[in-house]
Amino acid sequence: MKDKAASFLCLALIVVLGAFYSFTLLRSHLESPKVSTMYENYYIRKNLRNYNVNQTQIYIPGTAFDMTFERAWILSRDGWSIPESNGSGTVFSGKGSLVFGLYYVPDSLTMRADIAVSEPAVLKVKSGGTERVLKFPEKGHYLLETDLDVSDMTNDYNALNHVYLESDKSIIFYRLSLD
């Protein structure tokens, strides 16, 4: 009799714990995660190339990124390489974006970058409803400079801004800023 009671108790415990685990798992999938926007974009959505728990995702216009050796936190995971230790720059190819928050939305933003191409290339830069097509007709170094559409940018920390990029060839970035 004691063996049957012990077996029943173990079985009931397993059923209760299984139901609790299933309920908790289901609830976690239905609710949005209660984590920082940067954590969510790096670990859950996999939008960001880099994540540092001590860093904010807020970009201060005019701040320049040295992309020769360092990993710029503003870069999406897609399209961007990790810079080599020899200082050869950060390579962009295919589709990617710049992902950032703003304390305030400025009247205008201009994307500036020192780049190099090893063959003729085309770079599309899309922000807001505006897409700019930049052509680099021959091999060499260029100063990329294009205005961004700030009409749909926000200073809401829970809604990061994106500048979408698309390139038909590899482009090496040495320096990048939004002024």
Tell me, rounded to whole angstroms, the distance of Cα 84 from its chain centroid: 20
CATH code: domain of residue 105: 2.60.120.260
Q: What tens digit of pLDDT does each residue of 107-149 get?
A: 999 999 999 999 999 999 999 889 999 999 999 999 999 999 9
pLDDT for 73 equals 85
Q: Strands, E, within 6-149: which ranges?
A: 64-66, 90-100, 109-117, 121-127, 130-136, 140-148
Q: Among residues 174, 144, 166, which one has the least CA distance to residue 97?
A: 166
**In-domain check, residue 169:** yes
**How many domains is the chain built from?**
1
**In-domain check, residue 33:** no
**In-domain check, residue 61:** yes
- CA atoms of 147 and 132, how far apart (whole Å): 9
The residue that leads in pLDDT, 102 or 40, is 102
**In-domain check, residue 20:** no
- How far lies 75's CA from each of 34, 110, 140, in Å? 23, 17, 23
**In-domain check, residue 40:** no
**In-domain check, residue 119:** yes
Cβ neighbourhood burial of 49 (10 Å; 0-12, 13-18, 19+): buried
Rounded average pLDDT over 37-48: 69
- On the question of pLDDT at 168 being above 80, the answer is yes
**In-domain check, residue 42:** no
The letter for the amino acid at 93 is: S
- CA atoms of 170 and 94, how far apart (whole Å): 8
pLDDT for 44 equals 67
The boundaries of the domain holding residue 83 are 48-178
Mean pLDDT of the chain: 87
Q: How confident is the model at residue 53 (pLDDT cuts 50, 70, 90)?
A: low
Are 81 and 62 spatial neighbours (Cβ–Cβ below 8 Å)? no
**In-domain check, residue 142:** yes
